[in-house]
Chains A and B, each alone.
Chain A
Amino acid sequence: GNSVTQMEGPVTLSEEAFLTINCTYTATGYPSLFWYVQYPGEGLQLLLKATKADDKGSNKGFEATYRKETTSFHLEKGSVQVSDSAVYFCALTSPYAGSYQLTFGKGTKLSVIP
């Protein structure tokens, strides 16, 4: 079946540090890949997505590239801010799943300190 593995946190960084959150997946065929973010007290929001190999998703300074050869979709940001403190979820959907359900990783909690 489909699965997503992401680095477990928590991750604590100083403001302006470089961020990488690793995500690898197992899926049949060509999944679509997503990063969702959950800010404190809020629901999940889509951060970025990529729907085919070598696509790069980007938003709010975050980037992730769909790497089929390594089955990875690592999230990066060059300079984090305190406002980026949140829980980040890597997820995928597969067109072969019969339904377009999201399969999630466990989530990585990021804390950015001033």
Chain B
Amino acid sequence: EAGVTQFPSHSVIEKGQTVTLRCDPISGHDNLYWYRRVMGKEIKFLLHFVKESKQDESGMPNNRFLAERTGGTYSTLKVQPAELEDSGVYFCASSPGQGASTDTQYFGPGTRLTVL
């Protein structure tokens, strides 16, 4: 069974440009999460999808970030326009079923974003 995949693995862009990150969850997993780790800080929650619906987007830092999950399969996270402080590693995770606090979340390898 394929794990969570993310694309690209690395992205280097200039301030003001747009970047789109993609996450493909494990097949059949309805729950999809985005997290990010800024240098030297904790991994922070961004948002949670259940199928195509946003269950919780309380962690999204501002309106420059837009996440979508059309059709309830893969998800994209767009940053537009990118700022220097957006640099970090963006992780995607998925989990099966109805969702519960006891569930294991399965993580992808992350996308390292560098904004110059």
Contact = CB atoms under 8 A, between A and B. Distances in A.
Decide if A and B are genuine partners.
Answer: yes
A15 B91 CA distance: 31
A94 B109 contact: no
Contacts of B101: 31-32, 51, 93-95, 97, 100
Interface of B: 3-4, 31, 33, 35, 41-45, 48, 55-56, 58-59, 91, 93, 95, 99-110
A31 B56 CA distance: 18
B100 A43 contact: no
A45 B106 CA distance: 7
29 contacts: A31-B101, A32-B101, A32-B102, A34-B104, A42-B109, A44-B43, A44-B107, A46-B105, A46-B106, A49-B102, A89-B43, A93-B102, A93-B103, A95-B101, A98-B58, A99-B48, A99-B58, A100-B101, A100-B103, A101-B45, A101-B59, A102-B33, A102-B35, A102-B45, A102-B93, A102-B105, A103-B45, A105-B42, A106-B42
Contacts, number: 70
Given A45-B107, A95-B101, A102-B43, 15 more contacts: A32-B102, A42-B109, A43-B109, A43-B110, A46-B105, A46-B106, A49-B102, A51-B102, A93-B101, A98-B58, A100-B31, A100-B95, A100-B99, A101-B45, A105-B42
A36 interface: yes
Contact of B56 (A49, A89, A99): A99
